[in-house]
Structure 1
């Protein structure tokens, strides 16, 4: 198992594929995406970094002084340096996408592109310390019924018995992961991307400063990342492209990653054509 040492902190990562395009991702844990980007039609070299504080990476009882998203972003840059990737495509899902938005703002020169999956900066109502769903999961640790209710809200409505069965399997896997968390893992609250922006107008102003190609993939039925937040990013990031799936929610990467792969393949072909 490969580990990266960042100033004495051991971070676990996995590598998939041998392609020339380098894709980096970071998250609490992975359930198949972005490893699928190593397979055809994309065939990238993919590095998946387990965020510090979780799983096989070293745990951290106290939040980092700079905030979780910026710390995880620095860890991604350390991995990029470790594998010799001066520039790379970053992709992330939900909180993992939040890392990418911070990277795009702080170090645009390192990114060939950002692929944000169900992770545009949240709508604002003044409190940016946490999304309501994440706060509820932290506060209700041990209350399986309430945590399941929160994740079902995130996933959105399903239309068919087949999709309902798939959703049940997704939720069951999430609940097993939540139950396996240590107290340190369960308490981690990454907050919202760009926490200094307490209004939607302030978020839009930050988004207008981002100048990297961005592909935004989102679901109309997402219970935490609203279609409005997706459109806000698409309107304000200069080189953004957004795809909204009417029948998907927050778990599209777990439930139907093949839909993402098709859109990502087109995006990367367009990116290559503009080099």
Structure 2
């Protein structure tokens, strides 16, 4: 990993693969071997950059929240990063809050995107207002209590009856709780709120979607404790030409738990964009 100077700050990033298709992804951090990294491996073999969002890790830490809001700032940062690597247009994919960054790019800078691939990242329902999700507020308030953080993560991930997944989550969530408790104060208190905060109702949010005119793939989990199935479907039925894949047996952690499954869907989607996808089998 290394730092990229984008003019008004620096972004810590990692580069994977060397294919012709450039994919950018941004988030507070990335787990090793998770979904964006998998996209750089065969059979997708894309050229992937994972970008640590401003305010986290080794990226620039502003002294106060951006005046334009965190999500708009992160969206602008991704485009500034793209400028530095000479990518006029690119695929963007993001998980959860990283997906929110992608939706803000789609609204602010649609000309930069070949396509948006949102993974458990469609904007939240408007219930409870637009400041933040209830889970994020609890996470910030209870971040020093490992047991409370673990319980929140278990709820957000969604239920599973897979013994291997249960065991894996227990180990990962314990490590995440310890990391959260040790996180610097300025990072721990970042609360980006819900995407598109100007949309105060679900209908206003649907209207925002109707203004987005670019290829969008929505990968959603029906056991998600953060993004409801209704939220995913709201985007799917209002973004013109959107494609949605809904997994009944997945939860909010599917980017780490099922990266190969996601990569297959992305490859098919991108091949469809290029007109090289295999035609469906006929009986």
Q: Please, what TM-score do these two structures have when normalized by structure 1? A: 0.97
* Alpha carbons 1:214, 1:240 under 8 Å: kept: yes
**After superposition, where does 1:6-85 map in structure 2 within 5 Å?**
6-31=6-31, 32-85=34-87
Report the counterpart of residue 88 of structure 2 in structure 1.
86
* Alpha carbons 2:94, 2:117 under 8 Å: kept: yes
Give deviations 1:129-150, integer Å, cap 9, x for gaps. Answer: 1100001111112122222111
Report the counterpart of residue 127 of structure 2 in structure 1.
125
> Do structure 1's residue 166 and structure 2's residue 168 form an aligned pair?
yes
Aligned in 2, Cα 1:84/1:148: closer, same or farther, shift over 3 Å? same
**After superposition, where does 1:134-149 map in structure 2 within 5 Å?**
134-149=136-151
Unaligned runs of 5+ in 1: none
* Alpha carbons 1:216, 1:242 under 8 Å: kept: yes
* Alpha carbons 1:60, 1:184 under 8 Å: kept: no
CA distance in 2, matches of 1:163, 1:25: 25
Secondary structure of 1:48's counterpart equals strand
Range that drifts further, 163-172 or 119-128: 163-172
CA distance in 1, matches of 2:272, 2:179: 37
Give deviations 1:209-231, integer Å, cap 9, x for gaps. Answer: 00110111111000110000000
Report the counterpart of residue 152 of structure 1 in structure 2.
154
- The Cα of 1:207 is off from its aligned counterpart by 0.4
Report the counterpart of residue 98 of structure 2 in structure 1.
96
- The Cα of 1:169 is off from its aligned counterpart by 2.7
- The Cα of 1:126 is off from its aligned counterpart by 4.9
* Alpha carbons 1:116, 1:215 under 8 Å: kept: yes
Unaligned runs of 5+ in 2: 277-283
- The Cα of 1:253 is off from its aligned counterpart by 0.4
> Do structure 1's residue 3 and structure 2's residue 33 form an aligned pair?
no
CA distance in 2, matches of 1:205, 1:256: 32
Secondary structure of 1:34's counterpart equals helix
Secondary structure of 2:235's counterpart equals helix
CA distance in 1, matches of 2:176, 2:52: 16
Q: 1:116 aligns with which of 111, 118, 129?
A: 118
Report the counterpart of residue 255 of structure 1 in structure 2.
257
CA distance in 2, matches of 1:173, 1:268: 35
Secondary structure of 1:150's counterpart equals helix
Range that drifts further, 168-177 or 100-109: 168-177
Give deviations 1:125-182, integer Å, cap 9, x for gaps. Answer: 2510110000111111212222211111111111121121122233223223312310
Secondary structure of 1:38's counterpart equals coil
Give deviations 1:93-146, integer Å, cap 9, x for gaps. Answer: 000000000111111111000000000010012510110000111111212222
CA distance in 1, matches of 2:115, 2:175: 30
* Alpha carbons 1:102, 1:193 under 8 Å: kept: yes
- The Cα of 1:256 is off from its aligned counterpart by 1.4
Hey, which bits of structure 1, 4+ residues long, moved more than 2 A?
A: none
CA distance in 1, matches of 2:59, 2:203: 36
